[in-house]
Structures are given as C-alpha cells and as structure tokens.
Amino acid sequence: MAALLTFLSEPGRKQLPSPSGGVTGTTLANARVVLADEVREGWLTIEDGRITHVGRGAAPRDGVDLGGRYVLPGFVDIHHHGGAGGSYPAADAEQALTAARFHLGHGTTTCVASLVTASPRELSAAVATLAELCDDGVFAGIHLEGPYISAARCGAHDPALLRDPDAAELAALIETGRGHVRMLTIAPELPGALDVIRFATGQGVIAALGHSDADYERTRAGVEAGGTVATHLFNALPPLHHRSPGPIAALLEDERVTVELINDGVHVHPAMLRLAHAAAGPGRVALITDAMAAAGLGDGAYRLGPMHVEVSGGVARLTEGGAIAGSTLTMDVAFRRTVRQVGLSLPEAARAAALTPARVLGVADRVGSIAAGKDADLVVLSDDLRVEAVMRKGAWAVPPQ
C-alpha cells in the first residue's frame, strides 16, 4: 500500500479531521448531487471510504457545508498516457505517481495507464512498473495502445516499431502484468488480429479497436471476434463516408461497443460529439483525455514513448510530421466542455465521464456513480463547473476550502 499512501498524502494536502462527538464518518451537506437521472439538492454520508446514504433536502446532522456546490462521481479515465511531466511509457514509478496525482487533482479518481507502441523490452518494463502501482491501487489497469496497429493510421506511434498481432508476445505481457493488463488497442485488419482479439478477451483483456484502416466489414468482424471499445472514435480512423461507412459507422451502430471520445476542442468537433452521442445513445460514450506528459504544463518539447512531441497552444503534435500526439486535456475540462460546448445535461455528461468507463472496466459496482455502497470517490464542482474538491475512497485528495 506504500504507493497509495504516498499518493494520498502528498505534502500540502490535508486530510479532513474526522468529526468528533462519537460520530464516525463524514456528511457532505447542502450539495447539488449529480445522480444518474437527476441533480438532487441534498446530502450524503460517508463511512469507511464508502457512501452510506444519499438524501434529499437538509442533512440530518452537521457536516461539511458545500454551499450548493455540485457533487459528482469521481471521473474514470480509461485512456491516458501521463501528465504534469510524468509519462507512463517511461517505466518510472515516480513519474507515474506524479501523473496520477495530477489527474486526481482534476477529479480523476479511477484511471487506466496507457502505453504506446514500443519495443518488446520497453513494453515489458513499463508493464512491470505499472503493475506494481496497480497492486497499490493507484491505477485500475494498464492499456496497451499498440503495437498491433495500422501503419496508415498510427498517429503518434513509431511506425518502425509496429508489429503484426502476436499472441505469444501478448501472453508474455499479460503474464508480466499479473492480471493488470486490462485493455489492448488493436487494428482488426492486421494479419492474425481476429485471433489475437479472441485470445485477449479470453484472458480478460478488453479488446479496443482503433488506429485502424479497416473497412466497415472488417471492423464488424473485429467486433464479432470480441472488440467492445472504440479507441478515440474519429481519431486515427478513416472518416465517415456515406458510400463507404468504414469503422466509425460499424463501431457506432453496434450496441456491444463503447466509444471513447477526446473532447478537448481539438481532436473532435462538438457537432461530431453530439452526433456520436445521439447515434450510440446514452451509456455507450466514454470521455477520455488521452493526455500525455505535457498536460498541466506549458508549451514546449516533450516525449510520448520514443517519439518527440512539440506542444504549442496546448496542442501536442509530433515534432516530425505534425500528427496530433495525445492531448493536454484533463477530465474536468472534458466534462465541462461536454456540458457547455456539446450540450449534454450534467447527469448525461457524468455518465460519460464516470459510469460508462467504469462499466467498460467492470468496476461499476464500486465506482462511477453516487449511490449507497459505492466507494466515496467524489468531485466537488463550482457553479461554473470548476474543481473545488476531490475525494478518493473517503479521503480528501483536494480538500474543500
């Protein structure tokens, strides 16, 4: 647990003192609680790291007065590569903790650490490092983005390191990850891809289809083989075309598939987010950040795995070629944009930022919404939807002021 303790007790972050007078736990009063289908003026109580009650109106006992602020489920980011200078592909535990803490400060209480295409040795080292942090509860899993992706749609991945799907290599990574490798992004048109999708899902690894140049039919075959996630829909895929619908239509129309969307105002136009949300329906859209090390820092030169990246005006691009190279997004900004620019309601946006990705990961029984019995993973937002406090497992990571 050492890493988690470090994670939650960063210098300068105070734990909230427990209430005195024989009362255990915490009450959050005078809140606007964002539930699955309503925003309720009310309160909630927390004991032993879990939500025990969600009530309406005035709280039955004194608590932390949130002054009418919004309380949302902690965000769940199933696809991001780092932040605040820390990079998961670097295979460095300190860097990984720095990034996880940074995103926690922006409301992400559950996250999956994503790698990028790298050599077998580098991937193995990064998986080993991140698996230990998964043991400590810092990450909910590891996502292998590549190396089995299309050279034609590889975006910021190093084309020299792409490989054909290889079940033996994947099996070795899964073994190194000791159950923590949870997702694989794969292009279904590559030789052997459908078998590797079947192998991955059989091992409990979520198959995400993406960085793909497949047509409509081949993408459907990928879904039939077990693909259940679309890696950053629209990005690194052939565009929608009315006579050649391609992977986007195949992924949007299949109810088994959850589509990831990067809502940073750069990767996808708000109109396409509305279109995707309308086509997929509620419950099949997962907001992700795809953030890389530069998130939270200024413009400048960075790395994404082996690739050199230049960040300018907050937009990360490969130094060579200029492909978009991840984002500098955080989940609070993605959430706010989804309400303001896309036009989803607070409960709909919270679903896309928390419950749906939690369901993808298979942890929706514990996190992703505000309900009695779930972990007390909460984000407190101001009227203008800015983070004012963050709680993880009942402890304040960012205490209310």
Q: Which residues are catalytic?
A: 290
Which residue reads 């919404």 in tokens?
369
Residues whose CB is less than 8 angstroms from the CB of residue 373 and which lie 6 or more positions away in sequence, other chains included: 50, 51, 52
Residue 154 near residue 236 (C-beta atoms within 8 A): yes
Nearer to Zn ion, 219 or 235 (CB): 235
Question: Shortest CA distance to 319 belongs to which of 304, 331, 329, 333?
Answer: 304
Preceding peptide of 19 cis, ω within 30° = no
Task: Name the helix (H) or strand (E) containing 396.
Answer: strand 395-398
Mutual orientation of helices 193-202 and 167-177 as an angle, nearest 10°? Answer: 20
Residue 213 near residue 239 (C-beta atoms within 8 A): no
N residues, the chain: 401
3-state secondary structure of 303: strand
- Measured CA distances, 380 to 19, 242, 297, 324, 392 (Å): 20, 43, 23, 31, 12
Task: Name the helix (H) or strand (E) containing 253.
Answer: helix 246-253
Which residue reads 């993408």 in tokens?
219
Supply the minimum distance, in Å, between the C-beta of residue 354 and Zn ion. 20
Residue 328 near residue 82 (C-beta atoms within 8 A): no
Residues of the shown chain interacting with Zn ion in the complex, contacts defined by CB under 5 A: 145, 290
Nearer to Zn ion, 72 or 352 (CB): 352
Nearer to Zn ion, 45 or 185 (CB): 185
Supply the minimum distance, in Å, between the C-beta of residue 155 and Zn ion. 8
Nearer to Zn ion, 290 or 348 (CB): 290
Supply the minimum distance, in Å, between the C-beta of residue 81 and Zn ion. 6
Residue 316 near residue 302 (C-beta atoms within 8 A): yes
DSSP 35-100: -SS-EEEEEEEEETTEEEEEEESS-SS--EE-TT-EEEEPEEEEEE-EETTEEGGG--HHHHHHHH
Supply the minimum distance, in Å, between the C-beta of residue 3 and Zn ion. 23
Q: Is 51 exposed, middle or buried (0-12, 13-18, 19+ CB in 10 A)?
A: buried
| Residue with the shortest CB distance to Zn ion | 290
Nearer to Zn ion, 292 or 349 (CB): 292
Nearer to Zn ion, 145 or 213 (CB): 145
Nearer to Zn ion, 158 or 290 (CB): 290
Rounded distance between C-alpha atoms, residue 85 and residue 108, angstroms:
17
Ramachandran angles phi, psi of 382, nearest 5°: -75, 175
Nearer to Zn ion, 220 or 267 (CB): 267
